[in-house]
Amino acid sequence: MLSSNDLRNGALFVWEGDPWKVLKYQHIFKGRGRGKVTVRARNLKNQAVREISFQSSDTVDEADVAKKKLTFRYRTREDLVFDDDLSLPLEKSEWEANFLTKGEEVWVLFYQGEPIGITLPPTVILTVKQTEPGFKGDSVSNILKPATLSTGLPVKIPLFINQGEKIVVSTETGEYRGRA
């Protein structure tokens, strides 16, 4: 059992029979009354996002989610395929698919024996597949230009980054973090 005060960002819990992952946690305390915990959470089975409120004294069951490290092989129109011919429906990890490269090892999450999603590191290194060339003298200002990465993810990068360079990208926001 988890106290509602333990539902920090990234915590996994069971609500209405489904596993949920906390995306944002907020604790509100007003005067003499009991505190209120509001979480923005994602249902790991159907990817629905919802705000759920609890009293500070409420408890929830901890989700019994198993993790297994697998190697990503390829992507089809409907599935992400890993080692052991394990297929994960694309709609369960559509955002995370933007950061997967062939041969990369990731944690696949299982709930009651069924794959429900993947966990990525906070940042990944990807190659710039297509962008316009930067011009000399443009490096003084903080102007960004559009680029497409090797996985197909569109991102804004500084003018001094060229096609073929490797960059660090945040898996949470999809933003440029630096050169690799």
User: Among 121, 20, 170, which Cα is nearest to 11's?
Assistant: 20
Give me the CATH code for the 65-119 domain, please: 2.40.50.140
Please give the pLDDT value at position 176.
94
> pLDDT band for position 119 (50/70/90)?
confident
Give me the CATH code for the 123-179 domain, please: 2.40.50.140
Residues 34-74 have pLDDT tens digits of: 788 999 998 888 888 999 999 888 899 998 889 999 999 99
Domain boundaries, the chain: 2-62, 65-119, 123-179
> pLDDT band for position 139 (50/70/90)?
low
Distance CA 66, CA 78 (A): 23
Please give the pLDDT value at position 39.
93
Please give the share of the chain, as a percent, with pLDDT higher than 90.
Answer: 47
Residues constituting the chain: 180
Residue with tokens 């429900």: 116
pTM value? Answer: 0.76
Whether the per-residue pLDDT at 170 is higher than 90: the answer is yes
Please give the pLDDT value at position 156.
94
Task: Give the chain's mean pLDDT.
Answer: 88
Whether the per-residue pLDDT at 28 is higher than 80: the answer is yes
Say which CATH topology domain 2-62 has.
SH3 type barrels. (2.30.30)
Tokens of 104: 């990369």
What does the longest C-alpha to C-alpha distance in the chain come to?
A: 62
| Domain 65-119 shares a fold with domain 123-179 | yes
> pLDDT band for position 140 (50/70/90)?
low
Whether the per-residue pLDDT at 154 is higher than 60: the answer is yes
